[in-house]
Amino acid sequence: MDTEGRLERYRDADRWPTGESLAAMLDNQFAALAAVRGALPQLAAATRAAAARLGDGSGRLVYVGAGASGRLAVQDGVELHPTFGWPHDRLVYLMAGGEAALVRSLEGAEDDAEAGRAAVEALRPGREDVLIAVAASGATAFTRAAQGAARAAGALTIGIANNPDAPLLAEAEIPVPLHTGPEFLAGSTRMTAGTAQKIALNLLSTQLMIELGRVYQGLMVNVAPANAKLVQRSHRIVQVITGCSSEAATAAWETAGRDIRLAVLLVDGLDPETAKARLAAAKGDLRRARPAHPSR
């Protein structure tokens, strides 16, 4: 198993000067970027397949993992609502050991295959759902069992692992191998393997939201205005897209019920009911809702 290997060039690193040791750690992190670049075709396939399943508006995005990999998966998922307005009820996190494992190590939980199966079966997944399973080793019992149960139920399964021959990859419908090799600290996959996972998850989820029409002209048009900063950002987005004044953008945004997409259509000159109908017909995709607009 590559992630458990030892790099001889680092065997005496605990006696190196601090700066030299840090530089070596950083150098080893470049393997994460190379691994993700090599997996771009698989990430593209995973994104397209996930968008096809989730595009009808009912499917759930399920993140599964244990330990550091599980925490990284949850970290990716929790950003989807504030950034893209992805509904909370369409996000699920299956963490080995439950929520307690997010803030403290419960390493034995990763060996409980039955818990992984039971967690997925309780969700009653179907073809409209997408499950992303993450494990550096690709052999974690909880994660493999959860993925297997989801695939058997017809859900799309995307497996992400850092060992090229990992069972998790072989058992996934779409495998995403991130071959990062041995770590600076032998077996510490919270380092380079974790960095690769973070990058890959970030790319996959962001592109997925783009494919689902939650980004327009490089702007987060579904951002949830949960604080003062995001309220101001929402106003600026309406202004940037339409070219209207700050005052007009703010007024349209409030009239639209704080929905950036509807606000843009109102500034375009549509009445509220027509704007809502057009956006609904476009399944929330602003680009489709204003197809004849010159800024498209």
Contacts of 232 (CB under 8 A, 6+ apart): none
Name the active-site residue from 4, 79, 121, 128.
79
What is the C-alpha to C-alpha distance for residues 160 and 23, in angstroms, rounded to an integer? 28
Q: 244-278 burial by CB neighbour count: b if 16+ within 10 A, else e?
A: beeebbbbbbeebeebbbbbbbbbbebeeeebbeb
Residue 79 annotated to the active site: yes
**DSSP E strand boundaries for the chain:** 61-65, 91-95, 130-135, 156-161, 174-177
Asked if residues 238 and 263 have their Cβ atoms less than 8 Å apart, the reply is yes
Assign 3-state DSSP to the chain and report helix, strand, coil percentages, each to 5: 55, 10, 35
Helix axes 141-152, 113-123, angle to 10 degrees: 30
Strand bridging mode 61-65 / 91-95: parallel
Residue 110 annotated to the active site: yes
Name the active-site residue from 4, 99, 110, 171.
110
Catalytically active residues are 79, 110
